[in-house]
Amino acid sequence: MKKQLHETNQKHSFQEHRRESEFADQLKTVVDKHENILTNEKSKFEKERSTLEGKIRDLFIKIENAETEQVKIRAEVENRYEHRLAEQLDRYDRYITI
């Protein structure tokens, strides 16, 4: 009876150890899978972030270029206006002196 109890106890201990090993292997597999997924998602995130930062940088450059162009156009319009105003004042002064 003691021998049978001892054998049964060993059998259960062995099965418990085997199940613990199986669960540890399964857990390791699941953890590795999730780590791979997490690594992939992080790399996708970094790629998307760098793409977004590049687009933002490009937009800021376009805005700066547009502002520079607007300043040039405004200066040109002001110069044309001042030139026409000077011509009109000159005509007016010649008309008055006649």
What confidence score (pLDDT) does residue 70 get? 98
Give the chain as a DSSP string. Answer: -HHHHHHHHHHHHHHHHHHHHHHHHHHHHHHHHHHHHHHHHHHHHHHHHHHHHHHHHHHHHHHHHHHHHHHHHHHHHHHHHHHHHHHHHHHHHHHHH-
pLDDT in tens, the chain (98 residues): 877 878 888 888 889 999 999 999 999 999 999 999 999 999 999 999 999 999 999 999 999 999 999 999 999 999 999 999 999 998 888 888 76
What confidence score (pLDDT) does residue 52 get? 98
What confidence score (pLDDT) does residue 98 get? 66
